[in-house]
Amino acid sequence: MSSIRTLHIAITEPEEIIPRLGKPTHWKPGRSAHSLATSWARANGFPRRVASVLAGDHDYRNARFIAGIFERQTGLRSEGNPSQTDLLVLAAVDGSLAVIGVEGKVDEPFGESVDTWDDRSPGKTRRLAGLCQTLAIDPANCRALRYQLLHRCAAAIYEAQNFCGRQALMLVHSFSPAHACFDDFRDFSHAIGMPVDEPDGLSGARTLEDVSFRIGWVSDRPPTG
C-alpha cells in the first residue's frame, strides 16, 4: 500500500464535532471531548505526545497519519447500541494500514463494570459472548472489567477489518496529570493478556481475528486557548 497519501484530518475546527457528541453538554475547556478534538485538530495529525509514544515503539515508530474520523460508530455484531469511538485514526505503518481507536479521557471513568452492565438478558448475554470471543477471553473472568474498554477494543478490531487493515490499536489519550483511571486500564490490560503497567506505552501484540492488536496509554496536558 505504498500509494497511501497523507490527508487532512476529517475535522479542522474542533467545534465541528459538537453535533456528533452523545452528550454535547460535555463540550467545554478542560473536559475530554474538547481536549481531544482541540489537540488533534490543531496538530492536523498526531499530537506531539501521541507521536512521541508511537515513535518509541518498534511497530509504530514510522506511523504516518492518513485521516481521522471523530465520533465513529461501529456495530458490535449484535443487537444493541454501537460503540462510538471518540476518534478513529487511519495510519500507514510500514506500508500497511493500521486503525487506531482513540479514547479521550480527563477524569471520567471507563463507564460501568461488566457485572453492573450485564443484566443477564439474552441480548446482553449474546453481546458479551461475542466481544469476549473477539478478544479471546472467558466471559466468566471479565465481570470486574470496565465494559467500555471491552467494546472499544472490539470496535478497533472490527474497523481494521472494515478498512482491510492488518493492525489495530486501542489508545487512551489521557489529559489527566494524575493519570486518573489508569488503574482500571492496567487491570484490563492484564486480564486480556496485554499488560501495560505504566502510562505512555503500548502493550505487546496479540493476533485476534487475523488482526495484530495492541492497546496503549498516552499522557498529555489539556490544550490551552
Where along the chain do its domains lie? 25-219
Query: Which residues in the chain belong to E strands, given as ranges?
Result: 64-74, 83-93, 96-105, 167-174, 201-202, 206-208, 211-219
pLDDT value of residue 20: 62
List the one residue out of 53, 90, 70, 92 whose CA is nearest residue 198.
53
pLDDT value of residue 16: 64
Q: Which residues of the chain have pLDDT under 50?
A: 1-8
pLDDT value of residue 5: 41
Instruction: State the burial class of residue 83 (Cβ atoms within 10 Å of its Cβ: 0-12, 13-18, 19+).
Output: buried
d(CA 138, CA 132): 6
d(CA 199, CA 185): 10
pLDDT value of residue 7: 42
C-alpha cell at 210: 487475523
Residue-wise pLDDT tens digits, 187-218: 999 999 999 999 999 999 999 999 999 999 99
Residue type, 102: V
d(CA 201, CA 139): 27
Angle of CA points 71, 72, 73, to nearest 5° = 115
pLDDT value of residue 24: 52
Q: Measure the N-to-C terminal CA separation of the chain; round to a whole number of Å.
A: 38
Displacement of CA 33 from its chain's centroid (Å): 14
**Residue length of the chain:** 225
